[in-house]
Each structure stands twice: as C-alpha cells, then as structure tokens.
Amino acid sequence: MKLVLLGPPGAGKGTQAHRLETCYGFRQLSTGDMLRAAVASGSELGMKVRSIMERGDLVPDRIMIDMIADRTEQSDCAGGFVLDGFPRTVPQAEALDGMLGARGMALDRVIELEVDDGALIARISGRFTCANCGTGYHDTHKPARKAGVCDVCGGTEFVRRKDDNAETVAARLRAYHKQTAPLLPYYRDRGILSTVDGMASIDAVSREIDRILGKVESGA
C-alpha cells in the first residue's frame, strides 16, 4: 500500500501515519522528521534548510524530491509506505507520480485530513514528543497515561518543536493554503482522493482511515 496523508499543520498526519506503521507495517515517511534530523545533525542539508523551516516556508522542491526518491527505494519501504508531509506542491506530486511510474508502481490512495484553521493553533501549541522514542502527545487530547513518563518507552524527557510558535504556524498555514491545497483537485481528478473529518477524535479518524483502506467493514 502506498499512501499519502494530506492536511494543514497539526491536522494529525503524523499521529495517523505513526499508527498505520504500527498497525499495518506501512513505513512512515515524514519529510518534516527527516529535515529536523538533518538540522540536528548539522549536515550541509540541515544548515541549508534550518532558516527556511524556522520561517515556516517550504523547502525547495528539488531537495524534497531527491530525498523521497532515495528514501522510497530503501528496502524497508518494500511492504508499503505512508507519506506524511510529501508531496506539498504540484511539482512534488508530479515528480512522485513519475518516480513511482518508472518503477511500475502508483499511489493507492491520498487521504485528506480536513481541519478548521482555528483548531490547529490549539493542537500545535499543545503538542510534545518523547525525546527518546518519538511518540507524540498532546497536553489535552493525548496526555501521557502517567504525567511526565512516556507510555511506550518509559522515557522522562520530552521536546516541543521550535517551529510550533504562533508566528511560524501562521506562515505554515499560509503555505498550506497557497501551495499544498492545489493538490486536492490534482488527486481528486485522478480518482484517488478521500477526505476525512480531521476534527473528530483521534480514534474516530483512525477508524475512518481503516474503513477507507478496507481494514474494517463499513460501520464496524
């Protein structure tokens, strides 16, 4: 299964992609995580993209396309993957179609998580992640079962993202509406777009995605 999750910052792409990897083994490919790892490592790529990400702008298409072309060829993607944060522009979508087509493959489905802009600020400002295993939490919607301790690994260090501040989130939202929203008609025209109400609870969104992917019977 080759999937794309589309949606504005804070829509729940990472939350749902992580679950799809855990439940079904589709490798989660988060371009945001890959770029943050590059920044943290101090690599040439990281130095190039750091200020772009801090402003909330999009990283140039060429960098992103090369990154995903390399990553999707690795053996851990053979059982399928879920793209979380890519494509984000029409040229990225066209390049993805081209690279998959050259390998005799195609996307199976694109799932849009539709969320009101107003809800996103609250979601993003409440988000934090286990520094050890990367499990994501939210102050209100998904707190750790025991405060200050990761449910998954027992870690006690948590991090909040540098670009999760009001000014940068506003810029990320503008970039979404201007550069990424045109992907909705692009995929609708190809007959592979499904839209999910991302304002529903995390579990309800997961159930709807499972239904779209044929993982459960309708209404189950």
Instruction: Examine residue 81 and tell whether it contacts ligand AP5 (CB under 6 A).
Output: no
User: Applying CB under 6 A, which of residues 64, 95, 144, 183 lies at the interface with ligand AP5?
Assistant: 64
The burial of 121, by beta-carbon neighbours within 10 Å (0-12 exposed, 13-18 middle, 19 or more buried), is given as: middle
In terms of Cα–Cα distance, which of 4, 6, 3 is closest to 114? 6
- Report the alpha-carbon angle 95-97-98, nearest 5: 60
Judged by CB under 6 A, the stretch of 93-101, 103-111, 135-143, 207-215 that binds ligand AP5 is: 135-143
The encoded tokens of residue 220 equal: 């189950």
Shortest CB 197 distance to ligand AP5, Å: 9
Binding string, residues 150-179; x marks residues near ligand AP5 by CB under 6 A:
----------------------x-------
For ligand AP5, which residue of 2, 4, 6, 15 counts as binding (CB under 6 A)?
A: 15
Give the pair of three-digit tokens for residue 171.
Answer: 């810029």
Q: Using an 8 Å Cβ cutoff, are 127 and 140 in contact? A: no
Q: Is residue 123 flagged as an active site residue?
A: no
Choose the stretch contacting ligand AP5; rule: CB under 6 A; options: 94-102, 103-111, 120-128, 182-190. Answer: 120-128
β-sheet bridge partners, residue 137: 128
Q: Which residue in the set 3, 6, 12, 45 belongs to the binding site for ligand AP5 (CB under 6 A)?
A: 12
In 3D, which of 26, 36, 7 has the Cα closest to residue 129? 36
User: 3 φ, ψ to 5°?
Assistant: -120, 155
Told to judge if 88 belongs to the known catalytic residues of this protein, a careful annotator would answer yes
Task: Report the residue number, 83 or 109, with the smaller CB distance to ligand AP5.
Answer: 83
Of 12 and 109, CB closest to ligand AP5: 12
